[in-house]
Structure formats: C-alpha cells, structure tokens
Amino acid sequence: MSADLGRGGSAPLEAAHPATAPREAGGLDAADLKRSGAAIELRGLTKAYGTSQAVRGVDLTIEPGEFMTFLGPSGSGKTTTLNMIAGFVPPTSGEILVDGRPLAATPPHRREMGMVFQGYALFPHLSVWDNIEFPLRQRKMPKARRRELVRAAVRTVQLEGFERRRPAQLSGGQQQRVAFARAIVYRPPVLLMDEPLGALDKKLREALQEEIREIHRKVGTTFLYVTHDQEEALSLSDRIAVYDDGRIVQVGTAEELYERPRSLFVAQFLGESTLLRGVVHPDDPRRLHAGAHGIPLSGSHGVRGDAVVVIRPEQLRLTAGGPAPGRAGVPVTVRDETYLGHSRKLTVELPGGHTGLVREGPGTASGLRVGDSGYATWDPAAAAVVPDL
Amino acid sequence: MTAISPRPAPGPAADRPAGPGPRSGDAGGGRAPRSRRPLLLVPTVLLVLAGFVYPVGTIVVRSVTQPEFGPQNFSWLLHDATSLQVLGRTLVVAALATLITLVLGYPYAYLMTVSGPALRGLLMLAVLMPFWTSLMVRVFAWVIILQDHGVLNTVLGALGLGETHLLGTTTGVLIGICQLLMPFMVLPLFNAMRSIDRRVVQAGMICGAPPWKAFWRVFVPLSLPGVFAGSLMVFILSLGFYVTPAVLGSPRQELLPNALYTQISELLNWGRGGALAVALLLTAGVLLAVTTWVSKRVTGKAAGVTGGLEL
C-alpha cells in the first residue's frame, strides 16, 4: 500500500466538488476547492494516563479525501487517537500533522475539523437550524452566506421541514443527521466521526452508512471514522486501521484485511473463519504440520514455528471424496446446518474436535447433511497463514 | 460440572425495577390495586390541610375581618410609608442575596463538577455545613465576626482598610442570609451542571468556538434550569428570614418578617399582621409564577422550586 500519493491523489475528489458548491458567487468555488480533503500524518503518537498506556506509538498516513476507519474493540485506543487529532486530549508524545503542518500548538477551535460525536452532542437548547448554523456563526460569516450553507447542509442530510425543532423532538436517526450536517456545514477538510451510528438500530444504521458513503463521495473531505463494528468498517472505508491494545496491528483495504490478515487478532476480528493450528518447519514453508496431517500452504507467507491457517467460510468446499489435485483438504463431519436463504452455513467437526465453518452458495452445494462425513477442501492460495499466539 | 453461580437466577430478573419505560408502569403483582392507591395520599393531604391551609386561611381571613370586615388593613399597608419601606427593603435584600449567592455559587458549583471525587467531597461538605449546625450558633458566630471589635474589623483595620460598622446594618443581615442560603443555590446549580454532557462543550469548540465562548454559548444556557431553581429558592427563603435580621440587623432597618412579628406578637394587631403576611405570600406566589413562566420559555422545561434537583 503506497502511502505517498500526495496532493495529486485528491484530484478526482476536487473535480467532483462543485456539484455541492453553491451555483452563484464565483469566488466561493476556489475557497471550497481549497477546503477539499487534507492529508493527516500520525507519527509515534502516544497517550499515557498515569502508568496505563491508552495509545502506544501510532504511525499512520491518511491520504487527502480518504475514508479511513479505526476499527478495534472498546478500550483499544481508537477513540483516544481521534480525540488527540481533534485536540481534546494532548498527546504524551508524538506528532499529528495536517497537510504537513504540526498541530500541537493549535487548540480545537482552530483545527478546522468537523466532528460527529458518539451520542451526537447536539446543543439541546438550540433548534436544528441554529445547531447547524453554530459553526458558521463562530466564523463570522455574513448572514446570507450562512443561510445558504445551512440550507445546503439541511438538504444534504434530508432534514427539510425540521429546521425549527429542538434535538429532543427528533428521532435518533434524525439527530444523527443534524450532527452530521453541523459537522460538514463549513466544509472542513477533515471530518472525525466517533461511533456515529452506535446508538441506532440495524436497519437505520445500514441506510445511514449508505448516506455517509454518498456524502463522502460528494464533499471530498478526509473522513476519519471510529467503530467497533467490523461490518460497518468493511462496507464504508477506503482503508481500515485495526487497533488492538493501543497499537495499530494492520492497515489495509477491506479486502486485504479480510483475505490477508497478518495476525490471528485481525483474522478473528474481521469475519468468521476456520482455524487450523500447527507448526511450520523453518526449512519447509509449504507445509503445516497439524498432528498426523500435513496441510499444504501457498508458501508465500513468512511465518515459521507455531502457525494458524485461516480459511474464510466461502473458500471451503465440502466433498464426499478427498481433495482434488492442487487443493488442500481435511476430513470433516457435518455437525450443524443453517439455511440462510442465499446460502447455507454448515458447522463441521475437524480432526482433533475443533469446529469449522463452511458457507455453500447455490453453485457450490455439496449435498452433505448433518451427520455425513467427507472432506473440506480449499485452494491454499486463498488461505492466510498467521503466527499462533 | 456447573459451579454454583453467585448471580441470581435469570427468572426474577424480569421483575427487577426497570427505569422509566413501557414495562415499569403497573408490572408489580404484589402491590395494592390501582383503585386503592389514592389512599396513600390521605396522611399528606391531612397534614397540609391542618398545618398549612388552615393557618394560612386564618391569617388571610383575619387580614380582612379584624378589627372589622373590609380592606382597611391593606389600605393601611399601601399608605403607610414605614410599611412600604419595610416591604421594599425586604425585596431588595432578597434580590441582593439571590444575586450574591448566584455570583459566588456558580463558580463554586462549576468547580464541584470538574473536580475529582476527593475535592468534590470536601466542597460538598463545606457547602452542607450550615445545614448541620444550629441556626442560633451560626447567627451568633456572625455576631462575633461582624461586631465593631470583631474578627472582620480587626482584619480590615490591620490591612489598613479602615473599620466599618457592620453589626446592626442591612449589610450585616445580607452577609448572614447569603451564608445560610448558599446550599440552596449551590446544590441546584451543581445538579444542573452535573447533567450537562461535557462533549456538548467540546462540540462547541470543534465547531470553532474558543473555550470561553463555548462555555458562554453552550454550558451557561444549559445550566439555566439550575440558575432559575437556585435563585427562586434563595429569593423566596430570604423573604421569610426572621432570626438573622433580628440578631444581625437593627429595628430601624427592619425586614418584613420582623415587622410582622411586631404587629402580631407585640401589638396583637392580627389584621395588619395578616395584611403583611398576605403581601409576603403574594410576592412569593407572583415570583414563583413569573420565574416558572420565564424558565419555561428559556429552557423549554419548568424549573419549579425543585428545578433540576432530584428530590
């Protein structure tokens, strides 16, 4: 993953920007272009509270206009990182650079960032309109310009007709939209979001994910999104930084993280999988020794010693006979079966009593039923090998 | 194989009191049936009738029947310069007490909300201290502090600020009242401030407001229910102070409760005393109505006498 696209990387986003810019007043577009996404760089960022370290040396480069997600379990340091970028939490050590400029001396109100808080943090005493207008008032914009921008933001989040209501008179989803509009109304180059959909039900969350992606495409702002929900991270982000215990353990696109996890933690945090434990001898990287079984590996991994083969459910095929040439396989017994409409999920028992997961689509149905024995086979190139803990 | 679980069995969990929610209404099977619940109110209603409605009613009736039926006591009140002066002075003292406790109490309550548990406990203790000491002890402590050769004057003299006469003045009374009523201002303020989500102020800052402005435009408006509740309590309570002005003030600068006492207890003039009492009652009532109305307009919810206080 190259981290050095530079400002040129934002060109398509800038081109898309005038779609949301107001049509009149020619001078505005130039200003808006300048406001398009900023690059963010974190260098050795650390936060310690007394003796406990919340963030332990985070290095990350975020491209202008990129949708970057911090994914990790609660307490893994992702929100603390976001709060350091916003300026609410001073780093213990390390640096934050926006477009190459260090931020240490800049207080939150001059960082020119938008933020959607967990629980929204709307101003309860102000109407929807006044909430969204608040950032513009702080910037002393003329009234006509303010009205224009608030209208555009209200339209973007589809809240026309709710302008005079107070936050308490809105549903959770509507409040979320207000928080979003307030964060993007002044077209900040960076938008920070801390579990913005956490409090909403699944259906609404999915609809709003769609909208967030849509808005990201339109405004070209750099999005920094914190979540513990792996599905949300996979569907929204350009890239995901997976946090564990104050560190980023892997950065990559959704596909990279799902198909090529570099650790057991990432493999297990993102999606379901079947795990086969064994040993890789230093002189034979193409084979995993698991008890009496030798499992062929692709060989393109760097793992030696205790290792785990990670196979996603849709990569496994069940067959009555042994594996075809070129495929790896282990004998299994089907223990459980769940019909999911578009697919069937089968729980199988592996040698040694471990369980595996197989997903069968319409074209890959094996016909094996609960109680049947057979083989689970896969393409060694489609399985990831990670060090065992 | 299964260890004995320290947790309660899952069954009864459903009957545990939930917060305000659709289930929490009438779920309890063992309680009195709904139709008999109003009986629970009977003791309170009787107490209020006997201890409040009857005596207040008597005072009101006497104010228009003694010495004879008619408005003579009220026309005396409205035409007697001394009584009007007393009424005016009482209102001014109450207003000043409200203002002073608010100005001193607001930063104090704010400090309580931002401080750690140890300091907060100490601050809470300091504010509740007046509740735990006898009224007389507190008032006479102030006599010792305020008297002409007392602690305060000695300190002022030593600092070269010149000695002042405080005991027996309205200023002295005001100092005493403010100290005694401080908890009634600080506690509602603290309660209102504690319920403000810190992130809302952070949101104000990330939106471009400098810290002082985020505080002024976001935190202060959200603390208004506490301001209204505290102010209302301090104002109404300070209208009725008797012992403090009697000890710290002077008869020449009387407050309404003391004038009232003189009328009834010394002159046995129940009519005029009643008129003064009604004036006090009306002032408090009008104020309660106005404050509730204003606070409803400003904050969107009623700040009654209890305001943000969860009693």
pLDDT > 90: what percent of chain B? 27
Q: Higher pLDDT residue, B302 or A365? A: A365
Under the banding of pLDDT at 50, 70 and 90, the label for residue B77 is confident
Please state which of the ranges A12-21, A47-56, A170-179, B72-81 shows the lowest mean pLDDT. A12-21
Amino acid at B214: A
Q: Is residue A239 part of a domain?
A: yes
pLDDT given for residue B46 in this prediction: 93
Instruction: Write the pLDDT tens digit of every residue in B117-127.
Output: 999 999 999 98
What's the token pair of residue A228?
Answer: 């513990």
What is the total residue count of chain A? 389
Q: Which of A259, A286, A303 is the last residue before a domain boundary?
A: A259
Q: Is residue A264 part of a domain?
A: no
Instruction: Write the pLDDT tens digit of every residue in A131-164.
Output: 999 999 999 999 999 999 999 999 888 899 999 9
pLDDT at B299 over 80: no
A357: which strand partners?
A347
pLDDT given for residue A222 in this prediction: 94
Q: Is residue A265 part of a domain?
A: no
Determine the structural domain holding residue A355 and report its residue range.
Answer: 272-387
Q: Is B48 on the interface with A (CB under 8 A)?
A: no
Q: Is B308 on the interface with A (CB under 8 A)?
A: no
Q: Is residue A248 part of a domain?
A: yes
Q: Is B202 on the interface with A (CB under 8 A)?
A: yes
pLDDT given for residue B187 in this prediction: 94
User: Do the Cβ atoms of A123 and B204 come within 8 Å?
Assistant: yes
Phi, psi dihedral angles at A161 (to 5 degrees): 95, -10
Q: Is residue A266 part of a domain?
A: no
CA A140/CA B229 separation, integer angstroms: 34
Chain A CA closest to residue B224: A125
A284 and A246 together in one domain: no
User: Do the Cβ atoms of B208 and A118 come within 8 Å?
Assistant: no
Instruction: Write the pLDDT tens digit of every residue in B8-55.
Output: 444 433 344 444 444 444 444 556 677 788 888 999 999 999 888 898
Q: H helices of A163-260, where?
A: 172-184, 202-219, 230-236, 254-259
Q: Which of A235, A259, A283 is the last residue before a domain boundary?
A: A259
User: Do the Cβ atoms of B213 and A138 come within 8 Å?
Assistant: yes
A89 and A159 together in one domain: yes
Instruction: Write the pLDDT tens digit of every residue in B231-256.
Output: 999 998 888 888 888 888 877 778 88
- Average the pLDDT over B79-106 and give the result: 90
Domain boundaries, chain B: 69-298
- Does residue A328 sit in helix, strand or coil? strand
Instruction: Write the pLDDT tens digit of every residue in B139-164.
Output: 888 888 888 878 888 888 888 777 77
Out of B208, B210, B214, the one facing A139 most closely (by C-beta) is: B208
Q: Higher pLDDT residue, B204 or B6? A: B204
A154 and A280 together in one domain: no
A54 and A200 together in one domain: yes
What's the CATH code of the domain at A71? 3.40.50.300
pLDDT at A22 over 50: no
Q: Higher pLDDT residue, B4 or A179? A: A179
A252 and A279 together in one domain: no
- Does residue B209 sit in helix, strand or coil? coil
pLDDT at A28 over 90: no
Out of B207, B209, B211, the one facing A182 most closely (by C-beta) is: B207
B69-298 belongs to CATH 1.10.3720.10: yes
Residues of A in contact with B208 (CB under 8 A): 109-110, 112, 135, 138-139, 186
Out of A88, A166, A168, the one facing B202 most closely (by C-beta) is: A88
Out of B205, B208, B222, the one facing A124 most closely (by C-beta) is: B222
Residue pair A163/A127 in contact by the 8 Å Cβ criterion:
yes
A37 and A97 together in one domain: yes
A274: which strand partners?
A311
pLDDT given for residue B301 in this prediction: 53
CA B98/CA B188 separation, integer angstroms: 13
A329 and A188 together in one domain: no
Query: Could you identify the residue written with the tokens 């006509």?
Result: A144
Q: Is B197 on the interface with A (CB under 8 A)?
A: yes
SS3 content of chain A, % helix, strand, coil (to 5): 30, 30, 40
A158 and A232 together in one domain: yes
Q: Higher pLDDT residue, A12 or A55? A: A55
Interface test with B, best of A84, A123, A175 (most B CBs within 10 A): A123
Burial of A19 (0-12, 13-18, 19+ CB in 10 A): exposed
pLDDT at A198 over 90: no
Out of B211, B218, B299, the one facing A123 most closely (by C-beta) is: B218
A202 and A254 together in one domain: yes
Alpha-carbon gap: B226 to the closest alpha carbon of chain A (Å)? 14
pTM: 0.76
Alpha-carbon gap: B301 to the closest alpha carbon of chain A (Å)? 11
pLDDT at B178 over 80: yes
Instruction: Write the pLDDT tens digit of every residue in A277-335.
Output: 988 988 888 888 887 778 888 877 888 889 999 999 999 999 888 888 888 888 899 99
Q: Which residues of A touch B (CB under 8 A)?
A: 86-88, 107-115, 117-119, 121-125, 134-135, 138-139, 166, 168, 182, 186, 192
Residue pair B285/B93 in contact by the 8 Å Cβ criterion:
no
pLDDT given for residue B143 in this prediction: 86
CB pairs below 8 Å between A and B: how many?
67
Chain B CA closest to residue A135: B207
CA B232/CA B236 separation, integer angstroms: 6
What's the CATH code of the domain at A302? 2.40.50.140
Instruction: Write the pLDDT tens digit of every residue in B185-219.
Output: 999 999 999 999 989 999 999 999 999 999 999 99
A13 and A39 together in one domain: yes
The number of folded domains in chain A is 2
User: Do the Cβ atoms of B205 and A117 come within 8 Å?
Assistant: no
Residue pair A327/A378 in contact by the 8 Å Cβ criterion:
yes
Q: Which of A228, A259, A290 is the last residue before a domain boundary?
A: A259
Q: Is residue A1 part of a domain?
A: no
Alpha-carbon gap: B207 to the closest alpha carbon of chain A (Å)? 5
Q: Is residue A2 part of a domain?
A: no
Residues of A in contact with B203 (CB under 8 A): 115, 117, 121-123, 182
Instruction: Write the pLDDT tens digit of every residue in B93-115.
Output: 999 999 999 999 999 999 999 99
- Average the pLDDT over A52-66 and give the result: 93
A34 and A91 together in one domain: yes
Residues of B in contact with A149 (CB under 8 A): none
* Chain B stretch 217-246, residues whose beta carbon is closer than 8 A to a beta carbon of chain A: 217-218, 221-222
pLDDT at B303 over 50: no
Query: Could you identify the residue written with the tokens 């109304």?
Result: A185
A232 and A308 together in one domain: no
